[in-house]
Amino acid sequence: MTCPLITRRHWLFGACCAGLGIASSVAAETIGLDAIDTEPFPSNANEALVRLKNGNQRFRDDKPRHNHEKASWRSHLVETQNPFATIVGCSDSRVPPELIFDEGFGELFTIRLAGNIIAEDVIGSLEYAVSHLHTRLIVVLGHEGCGAVSATLEQMLDKAKEPEHIESLIKSIQPGLKTLDLKLSWDVLLHTAVEANVRWSMRQLRAHPELRALPEVKRALLEKRVILVGAVYELNTGRVRFLD
């Protein structure tokens, strides 16, 4: 016959151990989250660039942290934001900067237009990012297979005519592609044009009259407190290829 006292003791002991196990599990999970949440904030543009590269590597390896997405983190962003980098990218639905760099809410200030073109609104947004949010890194991010670049090439090859507003977009991209060899195979031509378009956007940013008229932004670029880099996202691999 089983002794009730022994059974009760065993039950209490087991319940205690189970409770300790749950507490340990919760503690371990909390420690893990805290370790991620305390990732050092980049102190300069070079550290910001390293963080973007590391995040893209996690994305490519299918090991994203999905950090800084929970309600507890979002609550810290109600009153203010403190992004560590500004991304000027394309509106393409396949290229969301936060996902491909494995970053969360409040960490990237993103400016997205088709073809990552440099329009007046982009200049104003960049001024805000540098002057008010104090981001130290600006990345112009293009991507392989860009539809805006493709439409521009087809126009240059006399293969297509686009509606009025798309024509306006094409006119913003075309100057950066004028030196390309249009006799190249289509795949090679588009690949080359995407990179050329990124470099064209970078040249526009450095030479834009509105940018030159902003002493703080100009000074930050000249003193290299703000660094401008170009990159291309590869749709098939998930890699962000940073340009020299």
| Pairwise CA distance, residues 103 & 97, whole Å | 8
Residue-range domain boundaries for the chain: 1-38, 42-242
Q: What mean pLDDT comes out for the span 17-41?
A: 46
Ranked by mean pLDDT, which of 13-17, 68-72, 139-143 comes out on top? Answer: 139-143
Tens digits of per-residue pLDDT, 145-198? 999 999 999 999 988 777 877 888 999 999 999 999 999 999 999 999 999 999
What is the residue-averaged pLDDT of the chain?
A: 83
Kindly report the number of other CB atoms within 10 A of residue 84's CB atom.
Answer: 23
In this predicted structure, what is the pLDDT of residue 4? 44
Tens digits of per-residue pLDDT, 56-113? 999 999 999 877 777 777 777 777 788 999 999 999 999 999 999 999 999 999 999 9
Reduced to 3 states (helix: H, G, I; strand: E, B; else coil), residue 18 is helix
Q: What mean pLDDT comes out for the span 129-135?
A: 93
For residue 17, pLDDT beyond 70: no
Q: What mean pLDDT comes out for the span 208-223?
A: 68
Q: What mean pLDDT comes out for the span 43-55?
A: 95
In this predicted structure, what is the pLDDT of residue 123? 86
Please report, rounded to a whole number, the percentage of residues in the chain having pLDDT higher than 90: 58
**Rounded to whole angstroms, what are the CA distances from 209 to 192, 206, 212, 215?**
27, 9, 5, 12
Write out the two tokens for 64.
């994203």
Q: How many Å is the maximal CA-CA distance in the chain?
A: 95
Q: Looking at domain 42-242, does it have CATH number 3.30.365.10?
A: no
| Pairwise CA distance, residues 65 & 59, whole Å | 9
For residue 18, pLDDT beyond 60: no
Kindly report the number of other CB atoms within 10 A of residue 117's CB atom.
Answer: 21
The CA R_g of the chain, rounded to the nearest whole Å, is: 25
Q: pTM score, two decimals? A: 0.80
In this predicted structure, what is the pLDDT of residue 210? 64
| Pairwise CA distance, residues 44 & 59, whole Å | 23
Query: Do 173 and 194 form a contact (C-beta atoms < 8 A)?
Result: no
| Pairwise CA distance, residues 118 & 197, whole Å | 10
Query: Do 107 and 69 form a contact (C-beta atoms < 8 A)?
Result: no
Name which of 85, 102, 97 is nearest 137 in CA terms.
85
In this predicted structure, what is the pLDDT of residue 119? 87
Instruction: Decide which of 179 and 223 is more confident.
Output: 179
